[in-house]
Amino acid sequence: MTASSDIVRVGIAMVVTIAALHATPAAADDLRDRSIGHVITAPTAWLPPGGVTATTGLDHHGGTMLSGTISIGPFASVELGGDSEVRICHGCGDTRPDAIWLGRATFKLGASQDQWFVGQPALAFGVRTTFAGKHDTRVAEAFVVASRDLGPIRLHVGASASDGRDERTTAPRRSLRDELRALRPLGGFEWTPGQYPKTSLMGDIAWVPLVEDDAVSARYVTSFAVRYQAFAWSSIELGMNYREAEEIGDSTFFVRVNASARRAR
């Protein structure tokens, strides 16, 4: 199965799902938290409306993630944290690449929905990079994403370019042209049925680098999850993600908790 056919299938599934569910009425009171900057793996164009949002998670392979996001005015946000999304493979052959925990920072600059004209989606341009560490493994990603609230459905569409290397990588450094050629689509959806205003079903596709001896390649990750908005300030997510070139049995199941504290107005 090639990457492109996988993407096409996931895309068709998303479109069909969205088309079928679009007519579902939304709850009168929207309980969904728009301060969370990610669908599952893919970024959203939402910027936190003020205050701090934190996410922590754990998967069944023992991987952990932790992040905190602070808004810098109405146009930007900075996220600091770390996760074990990136894989490294130096002579690993047929065995699974190793997950490596990296400190990450994201800067996102954008405009909120309907800010410039009616019907305008939320737009964001972001850069995500690793903190300097003693392992000298560096990963960076740039992305643009548009998000739109369509009642019970929220759609996220964008593109990203990523790069990474460590001290053992012998591949030559990429130029800007190479980075632009490596631009790949990303996207996701959230569906909140009217009958269950606190529950959202989510799916997304995003790209993470696989760092190898002589090359750095981007591998897609598809994820599905359920988010339950337990409190106005906190939600819990349960889901799974599947990575390109991994066995389906190697899919990762995870649980995450989001919490947000907003500035009193």
Partner 1 sequence: MKRTNAIFLAATILAWGLIDGAIAQAQPLPPEPAGPEPKPVEPTPTDKPPLPPTGDTGEPSPFPETTRPIEKPTDTYDPNRPKVKLPDHAIDMPMVLTTPTGWILPAAVLYSKTQLDTGGGVTSDNRVGLGDVAEFGVATTDAVRARPDTDTRAERIQPYVTASFRLGVSEDRLFQNQPGLALGFRKSFERNHDGFKTRIAELTLVASKHLGKRVAIHAGGAFWDASLQATTGDAMNRVEETLHGGPDGTLMSGDNLRKQIRPFGGIQVEPIDKSLILIDLGWAPEFCYGDIASACPKGRINLRPELSWGVRYQIADWMQLESGVRVADIQNANLLDAQIFGGITFTSWGLRHAVDSLK
Which residues make up the interface to partner 1 (CB under 8 A)?
A: 72-76, 78, 105-107, 109, 127, 129-132, 138-142, 161-165, 173-176, 179
Residue 38 — φ and ψ, nearest 5°?
-140, 155
Q: Of 121 and 164, which has the nearer Cβ to partner 1?
A: 164
Q: Of 77 and 252, which has the nearer Cβ to partner 1?
A: 77
Q: Of 179 and 246, which has the nearer Cβ to partner 1?
A: 179
Smallest distance from partner 1 to CB 205, Å? 20
Q: Of 152 and 164, which has the nearer Cβ to partner 1?
A: 164
Smallest distance from partner 1 to CB 209, Å? 10
Smallest distance from partner 1 to CB 107, Å? 5
Smallest distance from partner 1 to CB 176, Å? 4
Smallest distance from partner 1 to CB 142, Å? 6
Closest CA to 10 of 238, 205, 207: 205
CA–CA separation, 136 and 235 (whole Å): 35
Q: Of 75 and 101, which has the nearer Cβ to partner 1?
A: 75
Smallest distance from partner 1 to CB 96, Å? 25
Q: Of 130 and 229, which has the nearer Cβ to partner 1?
A: 130
Phi-psi region of 248 (alpha: psi -120 to 50; beta: other; left: phi over 0): alpha
